[in-house]
Structure 1
């Protein structure tokens, strides 16, 4: 018994030593990973946040530059107008000043700028777009503004400031008015930036600021930061700002921030109401405007993600270490569990065989699913083709009642002409009888034309794309829908431009698209007073654009994104399947074109079809078709 205990104690001694070494190694590894991993994880997530901030910064700078580029040449263009130069030559002419005031107001409204005004060489405003407002610029002197004295010296003036009269922020462009080589004044254009600033708000942990050369924030997604400086407000900076009255009487203050830099990142700590927040800062200079645009990202989420990642890494390492310790312990007792391991090995082999059989079964099922999916795709393509045909047949069904009227009228007339012809022959009036027979032949030709167009419309189209003459397709379309135009007293105007147009597509399918869209337009205007529909086609490079505009109620707000969905219809029950526009959309896509719809500013809806040009033939005669009731 003693010998057995001694042997057991000897066996447990090395086991305890190995276990202790494993625990020490695990603790050392956790310490190393904790120190190194903390730094690496924070840098990784800060880099990720910085990349997101750079993307936002580039987009913001691009928007600002685009907004400014729209107006930067406007002052010089206005300065070259004869009305402006004539007024500057005779600034005391009140009639001319009044005309320029109204002209500037019209331009200001057209370009959606804030204000446009003209100053004499002393900086006094002579005419302004806001001449009839409560705070007009007329009579105000702005010679202290850089945009004035830079422009009066012959250059291009630019300046951002808070208006001393309007108390509204804006960016100013100035251009000299030169007549006969002499500078007689300056044209200034002020643009609004509030709309851009509004889009920056509500971005969560991301903030955008724009600062002037003195570090004062004049645009920001955080209203409480406005007119605060990220740089110390020294007397020199305040003096330069006051000299140009950039911010009028606004109260300037320093932003409560602490700036710091790591080896890779720029950080701000800004004191807020009840708490202090840390931000990662990325900036870009807009030299043309003398601005600095900065994006500030709250680092709280990045630090939280870094700590979470570090905790997960430490947990994984701890679990791996425990696993290694378990392996050591298992090996130490290997002899005691040899039989158990052999049984476990046999069990494992059985499970492997079972799993292999399961994998083979799964593989067979996957092959069956692939086969079924291919069959389903073939069935789907066939169903789509049948759906297009069903849509056409549904349209034919809706037209059947009126078309029977179209056929009954010629048939009744032909019968009358035939009966009259018999009477005329009996009375030996052969020439009059021949006239009646000719009229019967004309009526038969008319019914044949209607039947031919319906037969072509109902036929399943050839999938091959060819060159399709647009005028011929429109003629065939009008043959099908002309009865609806007459019955609803609708005026249809078709303008195909100066040259024959041909597009890449299928004639029957393109005809179906035009029938569907024109039928919808007829439905839209037949219950209105203004029953006009206009079809226009123009070529622009390699694209032919077809527009169909009605004067109906237009597209209901909120439904524009769903109008091309299958089975979606704004008509009443029994007035359509909701497939026409969906089928038309897919047909145009098959042609490699685009189909879209929007409301016209003057009322009604306008459908636009863009197709690839198939012909470069030029013509000299404008072809304008009119189908009137």
Structure 2
């Protein structure tokens, strides 16, 4: 009976803990998705600012004139340098239709950008975007190329290069949740945790040790450093405008603690109720035993009285 009661308590406590866990997980998912959306909006907003600069500079008369082979190279380079300093760009350059750099904020000319995907896209009259790691370093840049158009013909392009580490530090490096952005090749190109940068998602790179599913949610068990939660809710958000997928890891620690506390509280209440019920039942049993003993004693006394009375009557008869 006692073992059955303990099993019942354990089952009810487990149910209460499970309900608390799912409720807390839903709340974590809502907050995590909001944080991911906010970080995504900040990243896209920052990059869009540089994109707008590329589009605006593509219409600047000094740059258009140089693209046509008529402008002043030094004047154009000075303009690009002043603009790059204002917006915090790594480089701002002008290239002709063959990809040859005509002017640059870094003062470098003659190099070719013809093979770079953002430039090739611009040569088709559209805004080109791409991201890459600079050769010989871990420096990551996001690049925009805006075509210079005249009469329907493409004369060249203005290319803006953005230092992604500067964007991370200025925007959301201190966020409590681990947020990262993965490109189409599975490479984590942007993150607010330095240990995740440039790691490849999947086996051999950054991947969970174990994944557990709870409805539509995934809870990861990971071991990737002190600033990455060991158990975390994993959420994603596609960002086609920059060709990446935003991801966030939200620690499930608060939800786990809440579930354990809820289960412990329910178990404590049930055990307390069971203890009171057991005490009451023991009191009733003791009282019943006492009454039974008293009843037996009374019956024995009455029997002895009757036997003594009979003996007295018999002695009286014999005496007569």
Instruction: State the TM-score, normalizing by the size of structure 2.
Output: 0.79
Aligned residues of 1:211 and 1:217 also touching (Cα < 8 A): yes
- Pick from 185, 190, 199 the counterpart of residue 228 of structure 1: 199
Q: Deviations over 1:403-452 (max 9, x none)?
A: xxxxxxxxxxxxxxxxxxxxxxxxxxxxxxxxxxxxxxxxxxxxxxxxxx
Aligned residues of 2:67 and 2:96 also touching (Cα < 8 A): yes
- Write the mapping of 1:516-535 to structure 2, written as runs, cut at 5 A: none
* Pairs aligned (count): 286
Task: Supply the distance in 1 between the matched residues of 2:201 and 2:98 (Cα, whole angstroms).
Answer: 35
Moved over 4 A (4+): 273-276, 329-336
User: Is 1:322 the equivalent of 2:275?
Assistant: yes
Q: Kindly tell me: are residues 259 and 184 of structure 1, through their superposed partners in 2, closer, same or farther at Cα, counting changes over 3 Å?
A: farther
Task: Supply the distance in 1 between the matched residues of 2:193 and 2:280 (Cα, whole angstroms).
Answer: 58
Shift of 1:333: 7.1
Task: Supply the distance in 2 between the matched residues of 1:146 and 1:259 (Cα, whole angstroms).
Answer: 37
Shift of 1:103: 0.8
Which residue is 1:39 aligned to?
18
Aligned residues of 1:280 and 1:297 also touching (Cα < 8 A): yes
Task: Supply the distance in 1 between the matched residues of 2:97 and 2:137 (Cα, whole angstroms).
Answer: 22
Shift of 1:66: 1.8
Task: Supply the distance in 2 between the matched residues of 1:61 and 1:273 (Cα, whole angstroms).
Answer: 23
Which residue is 1:404 aligned to?
none
- Pick from 249, 264, 274 the counterpart of residue 296 of structure 1: 249
Q: Kindly tell me: are residues 201 and 181 of structure 1, through their superposed partners in 2, closer, same or farther at Cα, counting changes over 3 Å?
A: closer
Shift of 1:155: 0.8
- Write the mapping of 1:83-482 to structure 2, written as runs, cut at 5 A: 83-90=62-69, 96-131=72-107, 136=108, 138-164=109-135, 168-198=139-169, 199-204=171-176, 206-231=177-202, 254-258=205-209, 260=211, 261-272=213-224, 277-329=230-282
For the residue of structure 2 that corresponds to 1:80, the secondary structure is coil
Q: Kindly tell me: are residues 318 and 109 of structure 1, through their superposed partners in 2, closer, same or farther at Cα, counting changes over 3 Å?
A: same
Q: Kindly tell me: are residues 309 and 106 of structure 1, through their superposed partners in 2, closer, same or farther at Cα, counting changes over 3 Å?
A: same
Task: Supply the distance in 2 between the matched residues of 1:312 and 1:268 (Cα, whole angstroms).
Answer: 27
Aligned residues of 2:168 and 2:192 also touching (Cα < 8 A): yes
Task: Supply the distance in 2 between the matched residues of 1:80 and 1:164 (Cα, whole angstroms).
Answer: 30
Which residue is 2:52 aligned to?
73
For the residue of structure 2 that corresponds to 1:282, the secondary structure is strand
For the residue of structure 1 that corresponds to 2:62, the secondary structure is helix
Structure 1 gap segments, 5+ residues each: 1-20, 233-252, 337-629
Shift of 1:156: 0.9
Task: Supply the distance in 1 between the matched residues of 2:140 and 2:24 (Cα, whole angstroms).
Answer: 37
Task: Supply the distance in 2 between the matched residues of 1:62 and 1:305 (Cα, whole angstroms).
Answer: 31
For the residue of structure 2 that corresponds to 1:271, the secondary structure is coil
Shift of 1:111: 2.7
Shift of 1:196: 3.9
State the superposition RMSD in angstroms.
2.8
Shift of 1:284: 0.6
For the residue of structure 2 that corresponds to 1:70, the secondary structure is helix
Aligned residues of 1:216 and 1:231 also touching (Cα < 8 A): no
Q: Deviations over 1:132-188 (max 9, x none)?
A: xxxx4x222222222100101111111122234885322211111122332111111
Q: Deviations over 1:250-271 (max 9, x none)?
A: xxx6224335233231133323
Instruction: State the TM-score, normalizing by the size of structure 1.
Output: 0.42
Structure with higher RCO (Cα < 8 A, 6+ apart): 2
Q: Deviations over 1:285-313 (max 9, x none)?
A: 11111111111022344323322322222
